[in-house]
Amino acid sequence: RPEMLAVLGIDYNVAAWGMGIERLAMALYGLRDIRELYSHDIRCLQRTSYRWYIYAGAQV
């Protein structure tokens, strides 16, 4: 986005990437489509097999 860089006085092309929290949640829950995280359709929840983990010895 050149307009963002212009404010900072940067006049050359840059590239940026990263893994957001949504992508980590997709990997954790085995989702194929990121839109399922924000869906209001209960069928998305029913299709998903959630994995529960044990943190610090506490069972969930």
The span from the CA of 60 to the CA of 39, in Å, is 25
Residue 35 lies in a domain: yes
Domain hosting 29: range is 20-50
Tally of structural domains, the chain = 1
Task: Tell me the pLDDT tens digit for each residue of 2-24.
Answer: 788 888 888 888 777 888 888 88
SS3 labels along 25-59: HHHHHCCCCHHHHHCCCHHHHHHCCCCCCCECCEC
pLDDT reported for residue 49: 60
Query: Which of these, 36, 21, 19, 58, lies nearest to 50 by C-alpha position?
Result: 36
Question: pTM value?
Answer: 0.46
Residue 3 lies in a domain: no
